[in-house]
Amino acid sequence: MTLGGMPPLNNVAINASNISDIVAAGASSNEILTAFASLDTDVEDITKSDGTLPLEFQCQYRRGKCSQPRTLKKNGSMHSYCEYHRQLSVRNQRAFDQKKRRQRRTLEADEEAEKRLCRSRRPTSHSCVGDVEV
């Protein structure tokens, strides 16, 4: 059995005879420290000599150049945008979703009105929708 689905550090077996052996193996390993070292760096530490951030840390907003730093997600990875452009993107997405919902409601209302109209005519041998007289 592994902890969190991860293999044991330094290939120490989980069924080791002594728990202190596992703790010592984990403490001697530097895997966890190196995995999170990039998260501990400040923006000032990663800036170039001319004062700009490297491209991988800059906001990746499509329009124009934004040199603001990207924000961090709750899990520690980086968002694509800076905080300002994230808020802008969220606002635009909400407006788009509202527009789609409004269009869907209008379409459903039109279809319902057409069904009511067809029911009021009570056709006997054929459907009301798509009638073509020859």
Bigger pLDDT: 82 vs 1: 82
Whether 35 and 48 have beta carbons less than 8 Å apart is answered as no
Give the pLDDT score at 100: 97
pLDDT at 1 over 50: no
Task: Say how far apart CA 28 and CA 103 lie, in whole Å.
Answer: 61
pLDDT at 30 over 90: no
Give the pLDDT score at 12: 45
Read off the tokens for 37: 């070292």
pLDDT at 33 over 70: no
Give the H or E element holding residue 40. Answer: helix 37-40
pLDDT 10s digits, 48-79 = 666 677 778 888 888 778 888 999 999 989 98
Task: Say how far apart CA 48 and CA 51 lie, in whole Å.
Answer: 5
Give the H or E element holding residue 37. Answer: helix 37-40
* pTM of the complete model: 0.46
Give the pLDDT score at 87: 94
pLDDT 10s digits, 89-133 = 999 999 999 999 999 999 999 988 888 888 777 655 555 555 555
Residue 105: count of CB within 10 angstroms of its CB: 10
Task: Say how far apart CA 25 and CA 45 lie, in whole Å.
Answer: 31
